[in-house]
Structure 1
């Protein structure tokens, strides 16, 4: 499959973490994001708010609290 590059704005911490990761980790992230984007585009009937609510509910169910998220985002 031929690849094409796109630009997606992210917060500074995410960009730094991605940049610092190994080439192998970056490839894994790219693959996962590509799959997730296709999955999201296959469900055009879901609004952004619904999607964000769904993601929030899943992360809370898995134990991610706002405090843990803040710690992870600020961890260097």
Structure 2
């Protein structure tokens, strides 16, 4: 079995209550999911914010969003 380390993560009160109220098996599942998610985040597999914005912009243009339409949407917001 791999070694384990303990960390402290600040959560909102509702999430903390849900975790603390969970059964031991549910807690182990949550810990495993969080561990996998953190591994993905730190491995560089998650795209950067700039990559996400670039991709979103490309898709918007493909769907017909023009700078003029975007400006009108932003002014109406």
Pair in the same fold by TM > 0.5: yes
Who is 2:6 aligned against?
A: 5
* CA distance in 2: counterparts of 1:19 and 1:12, whole angstroms: 10
Who is 2:16 aligned against?
A: 15
SS at match of 2:16: helix
Q: What TM-score does the superposition give when structure 1 sets the normalisation length?
A: 0.58
Greater relative contact order structure (CA < 8 Å, 6+ sep): 1
Alignment of 1:1-76 (within 5 A): 1-43=2-44, 46-47=48-49
Note the C-alpha offset of 1:46. 2.0
Over aligned residue pairs, what C-alpha RMSD do you find?
Answer: 1.5
* CA distance in 1: counterparts of 2:33 and 2:47, whole angstroms: 22
The number of residue pairs the alignment matches comes to 48
Note the C-alpha offset of 1:45. 6.1
Who is 1:66 aligned against?
A: none
